[in-house]
Amino acid sequence: MVVGTLSGCGKGDSLESFGGPTMGSTYSIKYVRHKGTPGPAEVQQQVEKILSEVDQQMSTYRSDSDIERFNDLPANSCQPMPASILQLVRVGEQLSIESDGSFDLTVEPLLNLWGFGPQAREEKVPSAEALAQVQQRVGHAHLRIDGDRLCKDAPVEVDFNSIAAGYAVDRIAAKLTAMGIDSYLAEATGELKAVGKKIDGSPWRVALEEPRDDQQVAERVIAVDGYGVSTSGDYRNYFEQDGRRYSHTFDARTGAPIKHALASVTVIHPSTLMADGLSTLLLILGPQRGWDYAEKHDIGAFFVIRADTGFVTRTSQAFDRLAAEKAE
């Protein structure tokens, strides 16, 4: 979860804000309204139109969504899809290739098997036989795009939860800009993008949480302008069995929840969609592989790692550079 903080006032301008439920969570918009800038009712209507469209296309919690209708199809089937879904499938393929298959959009059967998915029945460790059977239905290589159709050669099920919210925030940001709004903080389910300045000329500031089960604690506050910010963590959605903790974040190669010491990762990226996907990818890879990946690809990343004494943090060179630029 990423929390936006703001304050200030100015002559002739006003700070407008609104929000509501979306994608099983909430969204919030805050923007500086200048003379001639649309009012909050008009802006909210446009924002909720985007969120409704994304939900209709990509939700795995409604049987009539485009992706769930595709998920219900048997192997060797194709279905015409909106360009947005094909875009996210391509992004998922890129992240899958770059993580050697650890990140994968087709993990929904695994989520259900372990008790985390939309069709889950019980949170428990599955048998080796059940896991092996389900893994036959997992793998981005089973998907292909044929013109405007999405096809599959195995009964795979696509889950966009690792990138859909970031995509929605980018869509919202583009709409706000098109409406003449030049200073805003747009957030959906914890993914956010901040552009411009607050009324008093100070930057939008984002608080990065320490992974605590009992409360929200700000680990670090950073200034953001023109970037998307996404945090992925294993500390909110998990179960325990026989004294061991099982997270809802999966390594598709093993078919099992991650079990390393990396508790959360925050990524700063010009694209909120990419920040969303990359934060999940780095969390899956873990404290060392994730760090190596961030350094290799020049990704701004903030790592929170479990240690015997509590938590320790580590930042990539790109994160330090961006934080220093925004602090000036």
Q: Which residue has the tokens 């969120």?
A: 51
Structure-block tokens of residue 192: 């956010």
pLDDT reported for residue 254 = 85
**pLDDT value, residue 113:** 85
DSSP annotation string for 234-253: SSSSEEEETTEEEES-EETT
CATH fit for domain 62-152, picks 3.40.50.2300, 1.10.3980.10, 3.40.640.10, 3.50.40.10: 1.10.3980.10
Cα 279 versus chain centre, distance: 7
pLDDT (mean) for 144-162? 96
On the question of pLDDT at 306 being above 90, the answer is: no
Joined together, the tokens standing for residue 312 give 């320790």
User: Which pLDDT tens digit goes with each residue over 238-287?
Assistant: 545 555 655 668 888 888 788 888 989 999 999 999 999 999 999 999 99
List pLDDT tens digits, range 125-146: 778 898 888 888 999 999 999 9
pLDDT of residue 117 exceeding 70:
no
Is residue 98 predicted with pLDDT exceeding 70? yes
**CB of 163 closer than 8 Å to CB of 170:** no
Q: Is the dihedral of CA 25, 119, 209, 225 positive or negative?
A: negative
Reported confidence tier of residue 114, pLDDT bands at 50, 70, 90 = confident
Residue 241 has a pLDDT of 58
CA atoms within 13 A on the CB side of 221: 9
3-state secondary structure of 127: coil
The two beta strands, 238-241 and 227-233, are: unpaired
Q: Which two tokens stand for residue 290?
A: 């994730």
Considering the chain, tell me which residue range(s) the CATH 3.10.520.10 domain(s) occupy. Answer: 2-56+163-327
Distances, alpha carbon 228 to alpha carbons 64, 101, 250, 271, in Å: 30, 25, 24, 6
Residues 15-50 pLDDT 10s: 999 999 999 899 999 999 999 999 999 999 999 999
Delimiting residues of CATH 1.10.3980.10 domain(s) in the chain? 62-152
| Structural tokens at position 176 | 């706000």
Q: What angle do CA 315, 217, 244 make, to 5 degrees?
A: 80
Greatest mean pLDDT range, 129-133, 176-180, 211-215, 236-240:
176-180
% of residues, the chain, pLDDT over 70: 86
User: Is the pLDDT confidence value at 173 over 90?
Assistant: yes
Mean pLDDT over 67-84 rounds to 97
Q: Which amino acid is residue 9, in one-letter code?
A: C
CA distance 231 to 252: 20
Query: CA–CA separation, 287 vs 93, rounded Å?
Result: 23
Radius of gyration of the chain (CA): 20
- Tell me if the domain spanning 2-56+163-327 has CATH number 3.10.520.10: yes
Instruction: Write down the pLDDT at residue 219.
Output: 67
The confidence score (pLDDT) of residue 267 equals: 97
Average pLDDT of the residues of the chain: 88
**Is the pLDDT score of 218 beyond 60?**
no
Identify the CA nearest to 283 among candidates 320, 247, 244, 239: 247
Q: 147 or 217, which is more confident?
A: 147
